[in-house]
C-alpha cells in the first residue's frame, strides 16, 4: 500500500481549499489568455482525480459542479467551456 502523508492514497477527495485555488488560477489564466497555465491547472485536476479511488470519482465531479469550477453559475454563461 502506498502511503501519502501518513494516509492511504485514494481515500479522500481534493480539499475545498485546493479546489478553490485551482478555480482561481484557472479563471485568472483564462482572463490572461494563458493557455499553458490553463492546461497546467486542468492537468492538475486530472491527476488529482486519478489519485482517488474509482468509487469516489463521481463525488469529485459533484464537488467540481458544487464549487462551480468553470464559473458557469457566476457568469450565467458557458463561455469558459466553449
Give the contacts of 50 (CB within 8 A, at least 6 positions apart): none
Highest mean pLDDT among 8-12, 44-48, 66-70: 44-48
> What is the structure's pLDDT at 12?
59
| Residue ranges in 4-56 assigned as alpha helix (H) | 16-31, 35-51
Q: Residue 59, Cβ neighbours under 10 Å: how many?
A: 13
Alpha-carbon gap, residue 60 to 45, rounded angstroms: 10
Q: What is the pLDDT of residues 22-67, one digit of tens each?
A: 989 998 998 899 999 999 999 998 998 888 888 888 888 888 888 8
Grid cell 486530472 — which residue? 46
Amino acid at each position: 500500500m502506498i502511503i501519502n502523508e501518513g494516509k492511504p492514497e485514494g481515500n479522500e477527495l481534493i480539499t475545498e481549499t485546493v479546489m478553490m485555488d485551482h478555480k482561481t488560477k484557472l479563471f485568472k489564466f483564462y482572463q490572461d489568455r494563458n493557455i499553458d497555465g490553463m492546461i497546467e491547472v486542468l492537468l492538475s485536476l486530472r491527476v488529482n482525480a486519478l489519485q482517488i479511488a474509482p468509487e469516489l470519482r463521481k463525488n469529485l465531479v459533484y464537488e467540481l459542479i458544487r464549487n462551480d469550477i468553470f464559473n458557469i453559475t457566476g457568469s450565467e454563461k458557458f463561455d469558459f467551456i466553449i
